[in-house]
Amino acid sequence: MSGQSEANAPDAVSGLPAGTDTGSAVPESWLIASARISQANAHAPYSNFRVGASIETVDGVVFSGCNVENASYPAGVCAERGALAAAIASGARKFSRIVIVTDADEPSPPCGICRQALVEFAPALEVISVAARGRIQRWSLADLLPSPFSPSSLAHA
């Protein structure tokens, strides 16, 4: 990063260079880089399975998260839901893509709980997973979670 001015220091929330006008299409490499930054902060002393995630709003704003494990295992939270919670807390509600990064040999899909959390806001979300050596796999959330329990499901109660 030699020659990088302070004005281009990564934003604390997005991990992108401050002041970046992302428009509606953040380069995928930026989403991956942001997720890798969060992955470095993962708290995963029990599984040693470190995960980072970056979720992009339809307006091109990026929020990131990492897995945060706990000695009481069920209290842990996944990177995908961490990123989603950060976005929701900032007022975002509509999302286009999520990038998941791990150090696994194969790209990891989101777990079932995260699929359910994501479908609440983005049934058509593009899910992109990046493995240790850069292998990428893509899914539609609709394919990963067919027939989801959604807000409309409650209307039938």
Mind telling me the catalytic residues? 80
- Which residue in 62, 78, 86, 145 binds Zn ion (CB under 5 A)? 78
- Please tell me whether residue 55 binds Zn ion under the rule CB under 5 A: no
Q: How many residues bind Zn ion (CB under 5 A)?
A: 3
* Binding mask of the shown chain, residues 113 to 152, with x at each position contacting Zn ion by CB under 5 A: -x--------------------------------------
Torsion of CA 63, 66, 70, 74, to 10 degrees: 70
Paired sense of beta strands 95-101 and 62-66, if any: unpaired
For residue 10, the minimal CB distance to Zn ion (Å) is: 25
Q: Which residues of 105-139 are buried (b: 16+ CB within 10 A; e: fewer)?
A: eebbbbeeebbebbbebbeebebbbbbeeeeeeeb
Using CB under 5 A, list all residues that contact Zn ion: 78, 111, 114
